[in-house]
A = this chain, B = another copy of it.
Amino acid sequence: MQYFSEDSSAEVVIQQYKNCKNKRLKKIMESAINHIHEFVKEVEPTQEEWMFMIDYLTKTGQKCDSKRQEFILLSDVLGISALVDTINNRKTLNATESTVLGPFHVQNAPKKDMGANINYDGKGEPAFIYGSVSDTEGKPISGANIDVWQANEDGFYDIQQPDVQPEMNLRGIFTTSEDGKYWFKSVKPKFYSIPTDGPVGDMIFATGRHPNRPAHLHYIVSAPGYKSVVTHVFVRGSEYLDSDAVFGVKDSLISEYVKIDDQEKAKELNFKAPYYELQFDFILDKT
């Protein structure tokens, strides 16, 4: 029998999991225990620092409610969400890369007719967004669902401002036509800050980081027989592209919002010039 000691600590704790019947859970616990003990041995926290960490995690849990998930936000700003996403979506062939879902997706966004304008509050610089969905061999996928959402001109999603923005502002689900094409109207996204009024914000500021995400448009593209892709399209040239607070940026996901200063073309879209055009084509892997 070996009692707990500094040298044997992880080993002694893991020994208590010897009867765990769920082999996957056992592996996860063993790995977690090994790494937490290594962390503690590396930084040698004082009792006060340990208590600070306990308090921090407690406050993070207590900041969560039906509209706020501070532990996901903590996972996001530590790059854990991005890593889990990357591991679970290792790119195969030439399929579109995924990135983090983020906390602002809703399940019941409205289905929209192709070409609809999802900008209900009329703020911001108008944008025409279009592209295609095809398989890895270039064959168009018809009937693919394109679920899009983005923040408004002021950097907030509709569900963050229920008393300010129209319901379902800047959200919608489109379905690709026979030739795999999609198109709709919205605004050019702007960079914004993640919520900083909780423990995650405290950490961001205490460590000299910034809380900003580069401008982006969220997509979930799905079709029967294909792997869904949860991703963003980032605005080329946006601030913070090289320091996204939640590590979502990938090179292949940056695209140009092209400025169109042509009153005739604008008129056709019921816009005033100048406006922006974004093309983004999706490639889905078979399941």
Contacts and interface: CB of A to CB of B under 8 A. Distances in A.
Interface residues of A, number: 76
Contacts of A108: none
B4 A79 contact: yes
* Interface class of chain A by DSSP: helix
Contacts of A242: 1
B4 A250 contact: yes
B207 A79 contact: no
Residue among A45, A80, A251 with the highest chain B CB neighbour number at 10 A: A80
Interface string A28-67: 1101110111111111111101100010011111101000
Contacts of A79: 4, 9-10, 12-13, 33, 37
A83 B40 contact: yes
Interface of A: 1, 3-6, 9-10, 12-13, 16-22, 25-29, 31-33, 35-47, 49-50, 54, 57-62, 64, 69, 71-72, 75, 78-88, 90, 206-209, 242-245, 247-251
